[in-house]
Amino acid sequence: KAGVTQTPRYLIKTRGQQVTLSCSPISGHRSVSWYQQTPGQGLQFLFEYFSETQRNKGNFPGRFSGRQFSNSRSEMNVSTLELGDSALYLCASSLIPSGRQETQYFGPGTRLLVL
């Protein structure tokens, strides 16, 4: 079974631009979560989607948004990019959103560099 895939793997943008990252969960998984990883702030939760609905949202500005499609694939969008948005963006999928029991499987991430 294929793992979580994220595209693109690497991305370079300039300040003020916007970017869209894509995540395809493991087949059959319906919950997708996004995390931002930076050297300074570590791993921080962005948001979680299940059945095309956002279930949880982390403490990030409104420039960060996401969505989930009927096939469970998810996208996240960052508008008006800032230098501080440079990070590794990780996507994770699980069968259902039950943090206590469900194992989340992470993708390799998209590394975004904002110049």
Partner 1 sequence: GNSVTQMEGPVTLSEEAFLTINCTYTATGYPSLFWYVQYPGEGLQLLLKATKADDKGSNKGFEATYRKETTSFHLEKGSVQVSDSAVYFCALSDPNNAGNMLTFGGGTRLMVKP
28-42 burial, b if ≥16 CB within 10 A, otherwise e?
ebbbbbbbbeeeeee
Residue 101 binds partner 1 (CB under 8 A): yes
Residue 107 binds partner 1 (CB under 8 A): yes
Residue 42 CB, nearest distance to partner 1 (Å)?
A: 5
- Do residues 13 and 112 lie in contact, with contact meaning Cβ atoms separated by under 8 Å? yes
Question: Binding string to partner 1 for residues 24 to 53, with x set by CB under 8 A, is what?
Answer: -------x-x-x------xxxx--x-x---
Residue 38 CB, nearest distance to partner 1 (Å)?
A: 11
- Do residues 66 and 74 lie in contact, with contact meaning Cβ atoms separated by under 8 Å? yes
Among 26, 92, 112, 114, binds partner 1 (CB under 8 A): 92
Among 61, 99, 113, 115, binds partner 1 (CB under 8 A): 99
Provide the binding-site residues for partner 1, judged by CB under 8 A.
Answer: 4, 31, 33, 35, 42-45, 48, 50, 55-56, 58, 90, 92, 94, 97-109
